[in-house]
């Protein structure tokens, strides 16, 4: 298993993943903080999976959601669950939609990229954010690489150090609003909330 095996693995387990995905919306605190009271926000969900519960929550708030996933089966499920949302079959690495968003979410997806690919995602984030846009990102709590499982499929995770992420955010014009490692409210996830500066450079 390496990082290039992730998308085929999720294609194979998409139905199992969708059936067993936690839908209690323990993520709500981070999603609400990202939305920050906006109405009609344009939201980019990177690694959207089947769209439940995160993309559905945003659509319920009146947001215009674009879901991006590199797994065709996942995106088929997303379209079935959110027929009015935009669905894009694409690998987030090198994504270029020609649109800027008010919120970007990469929950339990970004950490499936290699360390090098994670670093290369920051220009992608920057290219897709409007002034003042917020970004929610889950990573590991520290520099690490580990194996996990989704259904019967092994999956790999990687993370940089918090200092490395802070440097990347700063270099690409984001202010870190908070980082909550291994947070109990988020069921042990390590979650970043960052905001793009007012101008686009």
pLDDT at residue 200 in the model: 44
CATH number, domain of 45, equals 3.40.50.150
* Contact yes or no for 92/128 (Cβ under 8 A): no
Q: How far apart are the first and last CA of the chain?
A: 38
User: What are 42-101's pLDDT values in tens digits?
Assistant: 999 999 999 999 999 999 999 999 999 999 999 999 999 999 999 999 999 989 999 999
Residue among 183, 196, 56 at smallest CA distance from 135 = 196
Look up residue 182 and give its two tokens: 């291994």
Domain count, the chain: 1
Counting residues of the chain whose pLDDT is more than 90, the rounded percentage is 92
pLDDT averaged over every residue in the chain: 95
Task: Identify whether 128 is part of a domain.
Answer: yes
Q: What 3 state SS string does the chain have?
A: CCHHHHHHHHHHHHHHHHHHCCCCCCCHHHHHHHHCCCCCCEEEEECCCCCCCHHHHHHHCCCEEEEEECCHHHHHHHHHHCCCCEEEECCCCCCCCCCCEEEEEECCCHHHCCHHHHHHHHHHHHHCEEEEEEEEEEECCCCEEEEEEECCEEEEEEECCHHHHHHHHHHCCEEEEEEEEEECCCCCEEEEEEEECCCCC
User: What are 129-140's pLDDT values in tens digits?
Assistant: 999 999 999 999
Residue-number span of the structural domain to which 66 is assigned: 3-196
Task: Identify whether 201 is part of a domain.
Answer: no
pLDDT at residue 198 in the model: 72
Query: pTM of whole model > 0.85?
Result: yes
């Amino acid at each position: 298993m390496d990082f290039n095996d992730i998308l085929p693995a999720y294609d194979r387990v998409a139905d199992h993943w969708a059936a067993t995905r936690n839908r209690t919306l323990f993520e709500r605190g981070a999603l609400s903080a990202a939305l920050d009271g906006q109405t009609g926000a344009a939201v980019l969900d990177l690694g959207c999976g089947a769209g439940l519960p995160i993309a559905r929550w945003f659509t319920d708030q009146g947001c215009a959601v674009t879901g991006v996933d590199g797994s065709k089966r996942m995106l088929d499920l997303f379209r079935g669950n959110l027929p009015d949302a935009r669905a894009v079959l694409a690998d987030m690495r090198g994504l270029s939609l020609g649109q800027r968003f008010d919120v970007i979410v990469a929950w339990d997806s970004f950490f499936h990229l290699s360390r090098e690919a994670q670093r290369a995602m920051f220009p992608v984030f920057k290219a897709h954010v409007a002034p003042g846009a917020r970004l929610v990102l889950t990573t590991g709590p520290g520099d690490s690489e580990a194996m996990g499982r989704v259904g019967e499929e092994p999956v790999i995770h990687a993370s940089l150090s918090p200092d490395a992420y802070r440097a990347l955010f700063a270099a690409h014009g984001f202010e870190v609003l908070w980082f909550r490692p291994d947070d109990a409210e988020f069921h042990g996830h390590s979650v970043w909330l960052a905001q793009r500066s007012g101008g686009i450079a």
